Structure 1
Amino acid sequence: MPVDEAEVLEQAKAFDPVALSAIYDRYEGKIYSYIYHRVGDAQVAEDLTAQVFLRMLEAIQSENTWRSSFSGWLYRIAHNLVIDHYRSRARSTHISLEDAPAIPAEDMDPEQTTERRLQGERVRRALNRLTEEQAQVVSLRFLEGLSIAEVAQITGKTEGAVKALQYRAIMSLRRMLDRES
């Protein structure tokens, strides 16, 4: 995306294809990754990512929806779609992130791959036992690499609340993983 994001966003409001493409190229991978880490299913993550950008197109002309932080607004859309996904699935079936296939590690021997997969499964089980708020903060901070301020914007919480959630989540994960070892 060009250096002047505000200019690109103004062009996108007029549905300029180059600007829309630049926005998509910049955020698609990050949004997909966030959703994938929340749902654990590549196909569902692709579908929900597409819905994020569809909703963006439907609402981009309304300045007050995204003016303070465009990326925060996109993550908020993604978060809401993930919640909607789980609500709709809860009515029909149970979803377990533990059953999600692990992403294979490249350039590792089979022993390293197996060890990494087992470690990933332990972490995934521990993450599933966190509260929804704690899991969201951990996902945004450590899987997506967002700052405390960005996480606060996305979740609608204060930075202090995000820090407290992060601390409690890390302590809970440490206790759970220590018990498993």
Structure 2
Amino acid sequence: MSEAALRERAIALDPGALGEIYDTYAGKLYGYIYHRTGDAKLSEDLAGDVFVRMLEAIRSDRGWNTSLQGWLYRIAHNLIIDHFRRASNREGVELDERWMAPAEPGFNFEGVFASNQLRLGMRFLTDEQQQVVILKFVEGLGNAEVAEIMGKTEGAIKALQHRALNALRNIVETQVEV
């Protein structure tokens, strides 16, 4: 089914369309949120909140105008930022520290973060650089999709990716020399 047809059915609150959206994106959004937070329970809650926000937006005629995937990831991104803003006011937890928690049993991203040095090196990247690396290499999204999610141009995403990969290379090389 085309995205336009799916959008029309979702706007009509067709349970089949809403179920299809959930089935297609729930796991992907959970993975993205988990990589950003490192907390399985929080990731489940926030992934569910993405769909609540989606329904609220559709009901108030603020549905997606761009790609569905980009819109859902943008909602997830905003929920993560909101969560850490609230948490930092209460606990003083930093965003880049939380997502580095070890993976839960059965969750396989060793192929992406095979090197412990590389994984630890991620904490030295800026939040935006971490997000680009996760969206591009863990979630497998293209530059256009990442740009849409982050609200940047494709050129800015390419530059962020270039800087992030150079920084990671320098960090890993420095750790090897030590």
Residues in 2 aligned to 1:164 and 1:175: alpha-carbon distance in whole angstroms: 16
Contact persistence 2:37–2:100 (CA under 8 A): no
1:7-156 alignment runs, 5 A limit: 7-61=5-59, 65-93=63-91, 94=93, 96-97=97-98, 100-104=101-105, 119=114, 121-156=116-151
How far did 1:65 drift?
4.3
Q: 152, 157, 170: which one pairs with 2:152?
A: 157
Q: 164, 172, 178: which one pairs with 1:177?
A: 172
Contact persistence 2:34–2:43 (CA under 8 A): yes
- What percentage of residue pairs aligned between the two structures are identical? 52
Structure 2, gaps ≥5 residues long: none
Letter in 2 for 1:147: G
How far did 1:61 drift?
4.3
The alignment's TM-score, normalised by the length of structure 2, stands at 0.86
How far did 1:121 drift?
4.0
Contact persistence 1:98–1:125 (CA under 8 A): no
The alignment's TM-score, normalised by the length of structure 1, stands at 0.85
Q: How many residues align?
A: 171
Contact persistence 2:34–2:99 (CA under 8 A): no
Structure 1, gaps ≥5 residues long: 107-112
1:98-132 superposed Cα distances (whole Å, 9 cap, x missing partner)? 762334478xxxxxx9xx8x955433321111011
Root-mean-square deviation (CA, aligned residues, Å) is 2.4
Where 1:66 maps in the other structure, the secondary structure is coil
Contact persistence 2:118–2:172 (CA under 8 A): yes
**Closer/same/farther in 2, CA of residues 105 and 13 from structure 1, 3 Å limit:** closer
